[in-house]
Structure 1
């Protein structure tokens, strides 16, 4: 197609009530640099919404319906609209039957963008022809090198529950080591308040960590921390998975792959090998800021939509 893409994005202003999820909203608004964007935040019928707009979109993007529409409004009439549509999928484990009904009946998106690849295709193999991989990106205004001294030798941030056995094992093995700190999860729905461990406060803590542990849960998804840790110029020690390997993460090059059996040994090794540690840390930082920013994701999104429209 010729000219600038016009996109209607159906999403709630979820970061206002759930500031922990600001990074997701930043990824949405980054599309504005590549396309003409209008937003719709309330429930409604798509015909009424289109009638209220000051432009006719080329593409309608309905953000994720998961967790009882925590992120996106309830929109009816999408299957009958003549404009191409797409949606986003964050957590593939959310209510599979509701997902399938949305994919095939209540929403019927032409394109299904997902933050994960192999976990999505495992959960919804029948949707492969509509699948588009759109992993998380970083906002380089937040996820960056703040130039802070490395106050913590080892850190662990995020949820600790049975879904994240690697993280729990990292805590169990490292909690007695000098220089280890665990940053508790701030809560998905915790309202904004001074000192909340999000955004700059969170990124600064990562930047002050010589190295930090993470994983993609039992589902082996490319969670945001895979991009945030190296993006804050921290050596990432992580349980690897197919998604991050396909995205360009290389063990010993831009991060350190670990298992529950060797995570402590690798942490102690890199604590004592400054030159090797710095080389991987710097490579990881450059890799994220060159290939995995929200700006890169916005271009990928718009290019995909334009190709789809051209194919029709």
Structure 2
């Protein structure tokens, strides 16, 4: 029987403190199927941490340090140890200098980024250390709940207030999600349209997060989303089809590379044509359900946390094997 690699994961238990982000934590715990995993949640020096553990890791994985270490503990001394180490990167728009200094000072061997095009554009000098590790869904949470489709159209998540232009008297969408803002502006008075606001990063477990959130997605015939002005392959691209709901989305380069195909497993749109496409697919039930079902099958076959866990552990094993043969 093949020996499993021993992986020490430096991560905060944000699945409990920020249940909205549990889907990210599930991607990490899924590695337990393919590796022997130990978790460390507190700030500290890596040498002190290693001495306190009854565990000698083959590899150390430090979760994303962004936003003042919101999701990971602050760990000192990573650059002083010889154990191969990697890190996870989510938001590319977080302070680039801090990221670069972290990569260099800690002698990071591999950077597992959840984005590809954005990462390579922001950090071209770290291309050789880059490994794409896209988002994925937990199929026990994001699935077809077989609930009644009560909503014709659904928009969920963060949108920004709309400012009135004093000269033209028009309402202009602004903010991080201009596509969502435009959808809300145009659709808010359309019968059958529902908008559910962002629950907050520290939302309680009984809010519209995890299973409650997935069930809400399942209630819609059509769901609108986008990758923000940063063009990220956000989790919603995976979560919506996984709940057997038709996704109308502004595409980003990463999802097209991952196998998302317009008219086959989702419907591509933009701020100029989403309304017409939404009305078309609401009316044409057979086409809507065919694309919807293709999307459901596509996500549950290609983009689950088990698939991602195998990808990351296989890569780590290859890295360890390469280092051993040097």
Fold conserved (TM > 0.5)? yes
Q: TM-score, normalised by structure 2?
A: 0.93
Distance 1:27 1:18 in 2: 15
Counterpart mapping for 1:47-58 below 5 A: 47-58=47-58
Give the CA RMSD over aligned residues.
0.9
Distance 1:80 1:222 in 2: 34
The Cα shift of 1:193 comes to 5.2
Distance 1:131 1:193 in 2: 34
> Does residue 100 of structure 2 align to residue 65 of structure 1?
no
Q: Which runs of 4+ in 1 moved over 6 A?
A: none
Distance 1:238 1:311 in 2: 41
Distance 1:114 1:18 in 2: 21
The Cα shift of 1:16 comes to 1.5
- Match for 1:285 among 266, 282, 296? 296
Corresponding position of 2:120 = 121
Distance 1:90 1:36 in 2: 24
| Cα deviation digits, residues 178-233 of structure 1 (max 9, x gap) | 1100011000123x254x11011110010010010000011111000000000011
Corresponding position of 1:170 = 183
Corresponding position of 1:226 = 237
Corresponding position of 2:152 = 153
Instruction: Specify the SS of the correspondent of 2:37.
Output: strand
| Cα deviation digits, residues 218-258 of structure 1 (max 9, x gap) | 11110000000000110000001110000000000000000
Distance 2:59 2:186 in 1: 49
- Match for 1:260 among 240, 260, 271? 271
Corresponding position of 2:10 = 10
- Match for 1:244 among 255, 268, 275? 255
| Cα deviation digits, residues 41-65 of structure 1 (max 9, x gap) | 0011111111122221110000000
Corresponding position of 1:80 = 80
Instruction: Determine if contact 2:19/2:205 at 8 Å carries over to the other structure.
Output: no
Farther off after superposition, 22-31 or 251-260 = 22-31
Instruction: Specify the SS of the correspondent of 2:211.
Output: helix
The Cα shift of 1:308 comes to 1.3
Instruction: Specify the SS of the correspondent of 2:100.
Output: helix
Distance 2:7 2:239 in 1: 28
Aligned residues: 308
- Match for 1:208 among 213, 216, 219? 219
Segments of 5+ residues of structure 2 without an aligned counterpart are 161-174
Instruction: Determine if contact 2:34/2:309 at 8 Å carries over to the other structure.
Output: yes
The Cα shift of 1:116 comes to 0.3
Instruction: Specify the SS of the correspondent of 1:228.
Output: helix
> Does residue 31 of structure 2 align to residue 20 of structure 1?
no
- Match for 1:301 among 299, 303, 312? 312
| Cα deviation digits, residues 50-88 of structure 1 (max 9, x gap) | 112222111000000011011000111101111100000
Query: Which has the higher Rg, Structure 1 or Structure 2?
Result: 2
Farther off after superposition, 16-25 or 284-293 = 16-25
The Cα shift of 1:108 comes to 2.3
Instruction: Determine if contact 2:178/2:229 at 8 Å carries over to the other structure.
Output: yes
Distance 2:244 2:234 in 1: 17
Farther off after superposition, 244-253 or 92-101 = 92-101
Distance 1:283 1:24 in 2: 24
